[in-house]
Amino acid sequence: MENFRFYAPTYFAFGKGSEKSVGELVKRFGGSKVLLHFGGGSIKRNGVFDAVTASLKEYGIPYVELGGVLPNPRSGLVYEGIDLCRKEGIDFILAVGGGSTIDSAKAIAAGVPYEGDFWDYYSKGIPVTEALPVGTVLTIAAAGSEGSPDTVITHENGMLKRGGTGEALRPKFSVLNPEYTCTLPPYQTACGITDIMVHVIERYFTNTKDVEITDRLCEAVLQAMIEEAPKVIANLNDYEARANIMWSGMVAHNNIVGVGRAQDWASHNIEHELSALYDCAHGAGLAVICPAWMTYVYKHDVNRFAQFAVRVWHCDMNFANPEITALEGIARFRSFLKSIGMPLNFAELGAKEEDIPAMVKTMGLGEDGTIGGFVSLGNKDVDAIYRLAL
Amino acid sequence: MENFRFYAPTYFAFGKGSEKSVGELVKRFGGSKVLLHFGGGSIKRNGVFDAVTASLKEYGIPYVELGGVLPNPRSGLVYEGIDLCRKEGIDFILAVGGGSTIDSAKAIAAGVPYEGDFWDYYSKGIPVTEALPVGTVLTIAAAGSEGSPDTVITHENGMLKRGGTGEALRPKFSVLNPEYTCTLPPYQTACGITDIMVHVIERYFTNTKDVEITDRLCEAVLQAMIEEAPKVIANLNDYEARANIMWSGMVAHNNIVGVGRAQDWASHNIEHELSALYDCAHGAGLAVICPAWMTYVYKHDVNRFAQFAVRVWHCDMNFANPEITALEGIARFRSFLKSIGMPLNFAELGAKEEDIPAMVKTMGLGEDGTIGGFVSLGNKDVDAIYRLAL
């Protein structure tokens, strides 16, 4: 096990009616004037906007609205939000929505006290050490941004999709009411489940030995998803399944299932080019890329993939030939993704073979750059993984 | 799944050399003068005392020593610590040791700003909302007190062993270097492992339906213990096994494996009378009580005990008669405890049948009082469980 630090001080209020505590929580964490940040109009239709603003009013907290966050959130609205916060003297950002809205809120929070261009944090990989406090009211179970220090933004100049991070970005509080996720259609629900599972998988495949507790915690989240996903796809209003998935999204990404080990993250990097270029859902892109990545790298550690197959997918171990078990695990993962309605290849996603060279180039690895903590991948490998996903 | 709040803002520094960050962490969390609280002299022999005081000196933080915490920590030293802190103007309590030292530190931390008797928090179950900040340097993997808001103290007036709790008691930081646990003898190591497992079991057996993610997380910690315990009993210096057990102790008790469900805690309550009366190790008492409790209550939900047997102990499910599977799971738990050197009955623990009525009485349930969230137990049930453990 590697040395590590773990600090996840987000306050979670979970369950029915939890959105009523927003005003109390903004006050507890020092907010006196709020930027209320959101996406499209769905939060005004499903009641969460009314509940949140009522709670803010109850505690006498003024707010300024900034809607319009798109999936794969863009830099333009971030710049607008930074200007608005400075002009209005805002000291707390409240994101109401899914991962895109939260990521956009984090970018604004980082940008307000920063003298330079907020994009520095994304393009140069500088950790964010100072930011306005952020709170969230989550309405989509997927990104785990409600409990993580991470944010992903697409810059409209070149459509570059890049991640930023920093402890200052971890939300002070997050309010999770699974009822508000029940209006999410099956496809978007499945995209979220895929994202949650791949957040775990990025941490699971490691070269660090002897991290049994973290292995088991990873397997726990994956098994819970395998159990709950079919229930919610069959019945979108299954509160219990929605609740399990929503909390799993947080557990999958606050790093409690990732400490003490090197992590991979190649699939996320490779996928980001897809969703940047085609504006597809991140989870759908991961469903195409992650199994292809597995097929490309599994020989690096056949026994680890066999463990994945046996413990997560309950395959019988082929002791004479563990490679057969390893491949069976990947096959079951693909079948599962297909069963919940995810695309498995470029054609199903609407991506094109001829764009591969451009995506490899935009990733910006150059001659010698690599991604991936489990298997180190250069341009040629990334190209090959895209082609395995055709 | 039940509504819940989860807030676990302890900062963890884990691994070799992590104790060198103590000075930095005390400073980060606002300490300017420290009570250095510890047990016997072992921390002066194994180097951790020197490392911690060197780090405090490096950051210019003065400290006052208060050693002498006993296993099953007593009220007398708590009163002494409260007086000392007030006299010396101490603003931060640093516990260096195991769960007993941390629990004693929490009691002092609660007592210093409280005008009444600190024991009120324990005897009356008032949650602690104000306390001095506490940091810990953990040297024994067991109690999980390094990441929990809980504390257990034995009052010398009547040898009453009672628990207290309150978010103000959750440590600001905890430093976990598994190397310092390597000097712990096999018996105490096994007691710690048992305590960790029973912390999970108290949360696992619930009447709340559909909490799959928490079930799986519980099963993950238990399986990790089953994997790692034999390694460390065979080789006390197995750093990797020590590291897995040490981190599991935190995961088992900061409530990440317990949210969204009613919990039980009868075994802990029933055990407390044993360790209060005989001054035995808490983990050893749990090894005697918990399987007896299981035997007494399993018929309340045979399928849940069958799940425990199949998922945790990898028993084959007897579909024709799940009760056989349920009993096999309990039997394997007992065998496991025996294999790591734990006592399984009163005789092996050194407890006496004739003391049962007195222990039942001291528990103070009275005519109508009950314990246990899974199965509600009164005096007669507690008496019967003690007798099942004879």
How far CA B228 is from CA of A1, A2, A218, B139, B239, in Å, comes to 13, 17, 17, 18, 11
At A190, which helix (H) or strand (E)?
A: helix A186-204
Q: What is the DSSP letter of B366?
A: T
More confident residue, A71 or B292: B292
Instruction: Write the residue in B4, B14, B248 that is nearest to A4 by C-beta.
Output: B14
Interface mutation vs chain B, best among A24, A216, A311, most B CBs within 10 Å:
A216
Q: What pLDDT sits at residue B41?
A: 82
Q: Which of residues 215-234 of A touch B (CB under 8 A)?
A: 215-217, 219-221, 223-224, 227-228
How far is B83 from chain A, CA to nearest CA, in Å?
A: 32
Is A113 part of the contact surface with chain B (CB cutoff 8 Å)? no
- The residue among A375, A381, A281 whose CA lies nearest residue A337 is A281
- The residue among A54, A56, A55, A49 whose CA lies nearest residue A33 is A56
Domains of chain A: 11-180 (3.40.50.1970), 186-388 (1.20.1090.10)
- Is residue A147 within 8 Å of A263, Cβ to Cβ? no
Buried b (16+ CB within 10 A) or exposed e, B154-191: bbeeeebbbbbbbebbbbbbbbbbbbbbbbbeebbbbb
pTM higher than 0.95, yes or no?
Answer: yes
- Is residue B5 within 8 Å of A11, Cβ to Cβ? yes
| Average pLDDT value for residue range A17-32 | 98
Residue of A nearest to B314 (CA): A311
Instruction: Write the residue in A5, A219, A228 that is nearest to B212 by C-beta.
Output: A228
How far CA B7 is from CA of A84, A318, B10, in Å, comes to 31, 43, 9
Which band of pLDDT confidence, cut at 50, 70 and 90, is reported for residue A41? confident
**Cβ-based neighbour number of residue A292 at 10 Å:** 24
Residue of B nearest to A8 (CA): B9
What distance lies between CA B47 and its chain's CA centroid? 25
In a 13 Å sphere around the CA of B150, the CA atoms on its Cβ side amount to 16
How far is B320 from chain A, CA to nearest CA, in Å?
A: 22
* Cα distance between residue A224 and residue A197, in whole Å: 10
Extract the tokens encoding B159. 């040898």
Extract the tokens encoding A215. 């292995």
> How high does pLDDT run on average in chain A?
97
Q: Which tens digits make up the pLDDT trace of A178-199?
A: 999 999 999 999 999 999 999 9
Dihedral sign computed on CA atoms, order A129, A133, A138, A140: negative
Extract the tokens encoding A130. 């100072």
Q: What is the DSSP letter of A310?
A: I
The tokens 């819970």 sit on which residue?
A: A224
Q: Which residues of B touch A8 (CB under 8 A)?
A: 8-9
Q: Which residues of B touch A10 (CB under 8 A)?
A: 7
Extract the tokens encoding B191. 């007691």
Which band of pLDDT confidence, cut at 50, 70 and 90, is reported for residue A159? confident
Buried b (16+ CB within 10 A) or exposed e, A7-44: ebebbbbbbeebbbbbbebbeeeebeebbbbbbeebbe
Is A380 part of the contact surface with chain B (CB cutoff 8 Å)? no
Q: Which tens digits make up the pLDDT trace of A323-342?
A: 999 999 999 999 999 999 99
| Cα-based angle A248, A254, A255 (whole degrees, multiple of 5) | 105
Interface mutation vs chain A, best among B5, B216, B251, B312, most A CBs within 10 Å:
B216
* AA letter at B8: A
Quick check: A267 pLDDT over 90? yes
Residues of chain B with pLDDT under 50: none
Helix (H, G, I), strand (E, B) or coil at A76: helix
Residue of B nearest to A173 (CA): B7
In a 13 Å sphere around the CA of B360, the CA atoms on its Cβ side amount to 20
How far is A174 from chain B, CA to nearest CA, in Å?
A: 10
Tell me whether residues A3 and B12 touch, CB distance under 8 A.
no
Q: Which residues of A touch B257 (CB under 8 A)?
A: none
Burial of B101 (0-12, 13-18, 19+ CB in 10 A): buried
Is B6 part of the contact surface with chain A (CB cutoff 8 Å)? yes
Q: Which residues of B touch A181 (CB under 8 A)?
A: none
Is A210 part of the contact surface with chain B (CB cutoff 8 Å)? yes
Q: What pLDDT sits at residue B136?
A: 98
Residue of B nearest to A244 (CA): B213
- ipTM for this prediction: 0.96
Phi-psi region of A191 (alpha: psi -120 to 50; beta: other; left: phi over 0): alpha
Tell me whether residues A244 and B211 touch, CB distance under 8 A.
yes
Instruction: Write the residue in B12, B213, B227 that is nearest to A212 by C-beta.
Output: B227
Extract the tokens encoding B322. 């799940």
Tell me whether residues B248 and A1 touch, CB distance under 8 A.
no
Residue of A nearest to B208 (CA): A240
* AA letter at B251: V
Q: Which of residues 150-209 of B touch A (CB under 8 A)?
A: 209
Instruction: Write the residue in B10, B16, B260 that is nearest to A247 by C-beta.
Output: B260
Q: Which residues of A touch B16 (CB under 8 A)?
A: 3
Extract the tokens encoding B277. 């009366």
